[in-house]
A and B are shown apart, each in its own frame.
Chain A
Amino acid sequence: GAVVSQHPSRVICKSGTSVKIECRSLDFQATTMFWYRQFPKQSLMLMATSNEGSKATYEQGVEKDKFLINHASLTLSTLTVTSAHPEDSSFYICSARDSGTGTRSNQPQHFGDGTRLSIL
């Protein structure tokens, strides 16, 4: 089945550090990937839609300069949290859908295992 690999699974770093999270589709191509943020005991909040070869589409209220997204290939999207602060601590999850099935496809999104980011 479709597998999405997310790395690292956990990051602990000092305030002011920039952190890069990778999301890879291992056995399919994805022109579109999604980045979510999940707070404790809450649902997933869509942060942005990552588009291969073009700029990401950010949801309202998400700082573009804070959360940099790069989708340079059909199998890799990265999220960089720049100058991270304690309030950026959260669980970040990416997802992707097999682009080969078409935009109208009813195929589900497949999720990575998430990255637990802790800023001290």
Chain B
Amino acid sequence: AQSVAQPEDQVNVAEGNPLTVKCTYSVSGNPYLFWYVQYPNRGLQFLLKYITGDNLVKGSYGFEAEFNKSQTSFHLKKPSALVSDSALYFCAVRDRNFGNEKLTFGTGTRLTIIP
């Protein structure tokens, strides 16, 4: 079984400050990890993914995420927040087992950037 936890329902950050959105995961083997962003009444947009290699992954819109195997975490980060970053963020995990394409999502974190 695979699962994802996003411990914070809501994160508020002042514009220009660094932001972090937390995610921890559980899989039986090695994971593929993803971050998606959702704007109101829209589908999900892909931000970045961790497959293998460098633990720090860079993605769209200046976002990055750090994979930490020992802590089973994949926190999303950005050095300087923009008001336009305000949205709902989902972390997702997929087991690398052959044929398993299912994504398991966290419950989402609503990020609000305060001007």
**Is the contact region of chain B dominated by helix, strand, or loop, or is it mixed?**
loop
Known: A43-B105, A43-B107. A106 touches B32 (CB 8 A): yes
Q: Within residues 81 to 115 of chain A, which ones have a CB less than 8 A from any CB in chain B?
A: 91, 93, 95, 97, 103-104, 106, 108-114
Count A-B contacts at CB 8 Å.
55
Q: CB < 8 Å: which of B51, B90, B99 contacts A103?
A: B99
Contact among B42, B90, B103 with A114 in the assembled complex (CB-CB below 8 Å): B42
Binding site for A on B (CB under 8 A): 32, 34, 36, 41-46, 49, 51, 90, 96, 98-99, 101-103, 105-108
Identify which of A4, A6, A32, A104 gathers the most chain B CB atoms within 10 Å of its CB.
Answer: A104
Residues in A lying within 8 Å of B, measured CB to CB: 4, 6, 9, 32, 34, 42-44, 46, 49, 91, 93, 95, 97, 103-104, 106, 108-114, 116
Instruction: Please report the C-alpha to C-alpha distance between residue A97 and residue B34 in the assembled complex, in whole angstroms.
Output: 14
CA separation between A106 and B53, bound complex, in Å? Answer: 13
- Least CB distance from B102 to A in Å reads 7
- Contact present for B98 and A104 (CB under 8 Å): yes
| A43 and B46 form a contact (CB under 8 A) | no
Q: How far is the CA of A106 from the CA of B98 in the complex (A)?
A: 11
Q: Does B51 lie within 8 Å of A106, measured CB to CB? A: yes
